[in-house]
Structure 1
Amino acid sequence: MQNTDAKVIDVALKYGYQSVDAFSVAFKRMHGIPPAEAKKQGLKLTFYCRLHFALKIEGVDRMDYTIIEREPFTVVGIRRTTPYGGGTWAIVKSNGNNVTAEKFFGRFYDLGLCFGFGQDGSNDYMCAVEYDGETIEGFDSFTYPAAKWMKFEAKGSVTENVLGSVWQRINNEFLPQSKYKKSDLPTIEKYVSWDEAADICNVEIWIPAILK
């Protein structure tokens, strides 16, 4: 329904439903909306990867995602290339820059931009906040153009690496079967909450998307 111009009745018959009503009931039970509304922007839908029959059945876990169109926006912060992933966070937390960010922007850095990895494994990364004010000396900035985004959520235990698990499923399960792929723009991790003491995290993963 989302990826083609097919009519609801055609999709229903293609997948073995005897009527549009039966298909609509099943679709709404899974996604919470009628099938005709699936073509609208900004709706949260549910993805199930194809089943693979091996020693166990894989692909039965659901993944909720949202397609969002965003206008241009700018982020500011500290951008560094470090020998390993996440090294920029260690820098801003140890040198007091995160506290400085709170002073200027009213909050700590809550965005992590990944510009890419070098052949030696180094990571070009930026800790940032969204900001539409005047340029501030000492901070790096990056402006995103208008783009389409896929938003996922990683909620759960920090120690169980829920964030890494969601990334793995996006790259290994969702993207290979989606009509979208990552564009050349840096991906974003938005840290809604990250409490290592309580072992709880809530991170939004924003992937700039283009058609394959």
Structure 2
Amino acid sequence: MLDRLNQAMDHLEQRLDQPLDVAALARVACVSEHHFRRLFSALAGMPLTEYVRRRRLTVAAADVLAGRESLLDVAVRWGYGSNEAFARAFRVVHGVGPAEARRTGSVLRSQPRMSFRLVVEGSTSMDYRIVTKEAFRLAGVKARVPLVHEGMNPHIVAFLKSVDPETVRRIEALSDQEPRGVVNVSDDLAGDRAEGTELDYWHGVVTGAEVPEGLDSLSVEAGDWAVFRSSGPFPQALQHLWRDVFTQWFPSNPYEIRPGPEISQVRIAEGGDTADAELWIPVRRA
């Protein structure tokens, strides 16, 4: 897997001045486009589009400093339709505009070319199971919220506080299969998982029953799910579990993520400082 990812990075680097073709990168890596975006974001710590933007502006900076071409020619080569658009993007990455950088020889920032390698950090293993489920429904309430990578998400906290106890009881009564009880679900994530990216957050249950009026419902296709468990500080236990699944488990196992909701269940211990977390990720054989 890591070899194929590095081949995809070579493919990207050779075409850095061309429009980003994620489908072609996924073909080189022998995974789906959906999985490639998710895996890259988890391994690199940034969305693919952000990495490509930084790499392009790193290489473009060398053209700016060389002074052999007009700034407009440099801008057009690297995908910008005007000096103004190029200058805005250049300033975000380098802290100065291209004209100033050319004139004064300013200190610029570089985004190194990225590659992936296996680092052996110990003998800790990850416990998981593969569960095949028939089609089911999610039933509950949902809200559109921004993604927060570390710590409590205040938008989710506010949403959960707004759900009245009677609605929670109606939702809980519909649970009739694994994972049993109320679950938290992330779905319809826009973009590349950058901080602030919007997603649908569900507070609901997994059910085969008809969903009564007044509750939100989502039909989920049949398929395989990789199920992981972790215990530790709350909310870090779940956030770190998600990170480890993508940075450790997927590169080491013949599976890829398939489209579908990501389901989590957290049982907070008395006192609220620690929790047991379970994460259900939709997968298929790579």
Name which one, 1 or 2, has greater alpha-carbon Rg. 2
| Separation (CA, whole Å) in 1 of partners of 2:170 and 2:185 | 21
Check 1:97–1:183 CA distance in 2 against 1; reply closer, same or farther (3 A cut): farther
Q: Deviations over 1:6-44 (max 9, x none)?
A: xxxxxxxxxxxxxxxxxxxxxxxxxxxxxxxxxxxxxxx
Q: Note the 1:1-212 alignment, pairs <5 A.
A: 52=119, 57-85=120-148, 86=153, 89-97=156-164, 99-103=166-170, 105-106=172-173, 110-119=182-191, 121-158=197-234, 161-191=236-266, 193-195=267-269, 197-212=271-286
| Separation (CA, whole Å) in 2 of partners of 1:96 and 1:80 | 11
Counterpart amino acid of residue 150 in structure 1: A
8 A contact 1:51–1:59 mirrored in 2? no
The aligned residue for residue 9 of structure 1 is: none
Q: Deviations over 1:147-191 (max 9, x none)?
A: 1111100212216x1211111111111111211011011111123
Counterpart amino acid of residue 209 in structure 1: V
Equivalent residue pairs, number: 157
8 A contact 2:145–2:156 mirrored in 1? no
Give how far 1:63 is off. Answer: 0.4
The aligned residue for residue 23 of structure 2 is: none
8 A contact 2:127–2:228 mirrored in 1? yes
Q: TM-score, normalised by structure 1?
A: 0.64
Q: TM-score, normalised by structure 2?
A: 0.49
8 A contact 1:68–1:149 mirrored in 2? yes
Cα root mean square deviation, aligned: 2.7
Counterpart amino acid of residue 161 in structure 2: S
Check 1:104–1:184 CA distance in 2 against 1; reply closer, same or farther (3 A cut): closer
| Separation (CA, whole Å) in 2 of partners of 1:164 and 1:201 | 12
Partner-residue secondary structure (3-state), 2:127: strand
| Separation (CA, whole Å) in 2 of partners of 1:174 and 1:59 | 14
Identity between Structure 1 and Structure 2 (%): 24
Q: Which runs of 5+ in 1 are unaligned?
A: 1-49
Q: Which runs of 5+ in 2 are unaligned?
A: 1-116, 176-180
Check 1:134–1:69 CA distance in 2 against 1; reply closer, same or farther (3 A cut): closer
Partner-residue secondary structure (3-state), 2:124: coil
Give how far 1:116 is off. Answer: 3.9
